Chains A and B, each alone.
Chain A
Amino acid sequence: MNTPVAFSLRVNASPLKGAKPAPRQSRLRGFLGSRGIASLALALLGSVSAPSFAQDKPWSNMGRDATPAEVKAWDIDVRPDFKGLPAGAGSVSLGETVWEGKCASCHGTFGESNEVFTPLIGGTTKDDIKTGRVKGLEEGKSIVPQKTTIMKVATVSTLFDYINRAMPWNAPKTLKTDEVYGVLAYLLSLAEVVPADFTLSDKNIAEVQKRMPNRNGMVFHEPLWKANGKGDVKNVACMKNCAVDPVVHSSLPAFARDAHGNIAEQNRIIGPVRGADTTRPAPQGPVGSAPAPKAVVVAAAAPAGGDVKGLLATNACTACHGVKNKIVGPGFNEIAAKHKGRADLEAYLAGKIKTGGSGVWGSVPMPPQDQLNEADARTIAQWIAAGAR
């Protein structure tokens, strides 16, 4: 930082670097103060080893060597040049099977779903595959329904790496290598990057890279990557009579007034301002003519349902099921209502949770929740059976 700094907390990275070994006497005097309590110094010399600040970076051997097996277990990243790519192969049809069971519930059967996550597939053309630039990303082109992953991603390694490290969303790193290849092959076939009978492998993935629709669509702008770069947008610090368009170009419509709740409950009840009461229309008269918004303190509601809600959240159940509403699958109390009166409901639901299934609520399958133990599956099943309250 060469620029003026009014006050800085920066400290030397290695404060002991270059410390010279000092004569033992003088160093002790430094520790004990200039008055030199000789007897204490002698006593210390007898019982305590002299401080060894002399060694350069005496912490250098902290830690231990990683074993080859440990490095292999964690070093899973795959780079655009395919360094790190594990050997393996998977066909489109293998991928389709895995997809139906573990991926379609969030991403849709064809990777097109915009319900849980933004869509993966769509918006690319055969021409894009030829040019390596997705035309639909240009200004003025309509993007329906919105940008997809395949429109943006330039490197096929990125997809392999991410599926391998982070998917399925609620059970990451559980796919076998061949399944990762298969899932990726299936996705690429949906985007018509590879044919439907294709088998993707570490041997042919570099060829597939040459057909990625947006492979030429990434640019590197170094000044926004380097700390000492220059900005790409310029403004000048005009101080007086600056040119301003007098129009208010954008403001929130009145109907959105309470879209973020009652703002009075999101501000302090003392101080120079209050939050506006957004449950009512804005006051008409000038300031002071209407009473100030009523000061209300609203504590954050404790999550209801206790342990069950925690289980639902940590097992990502709430990704697909609302308590009262369908997201991908039915709302929990919709399930309770549908099966009301069923004698073995708890056991039935616990089984459904563990093994997954489809058909009861439509064709989108629910993946099996193998990670749940019996007790937790039962706790959730009991809660649903009792009405999901």
Chain B
Amino acid sequence: MRRAQIRPAIPERSEDPRVEVALTVNGQPVRRTVSVRMLLSDFLRHELGLTGTHVGCEHGVCGCCTVHIGGKAGRSCLTLAVQANGFEVRTIEDVAGEDGILHPIQQAFKECHALQCGFCTPGMVMNILSRFQEPEPLDLSEDGIRDMLSGNLCRCTGYINIIAAVRRAAELLGRE
């Protein structure tokens, strides 16, 4: 049996069929040519350098990669970049003001100490923001908030402070 040979360098560009994708990200039109199988999460992080969108499980369970697609929260790991063609995508980078002033939801997370390592936070904020933007009345009971957060896993906080932050955010945004 021969020993394994060192293989030549892997090509820098994959040989996958490529497709042109044009969408709006955080208000800016972007156009890239990417592999058909590129996930929206990888598109945001690797093509656009927007690394605020985190990647955890890549099968839709952890919620870290949640962004807004067409104005509603969705999993960027369960969406192909090419599926977002023509859509408006909004990521965590667009939530705070340009001057660095935090969005009330972010402010509430800070005040309530609703994050420790912060890995899940971008997905949490994008999910909560999407719910606050829906015209539907919000259920701000303990159960209602837990249901709201059920698609986002946090392994640090035990959720208590995140629930408090959602209530605080509702106060700050006048949604009681």
A complexed with B: no
Residues on B close to A: CB < 8 A?
A: none
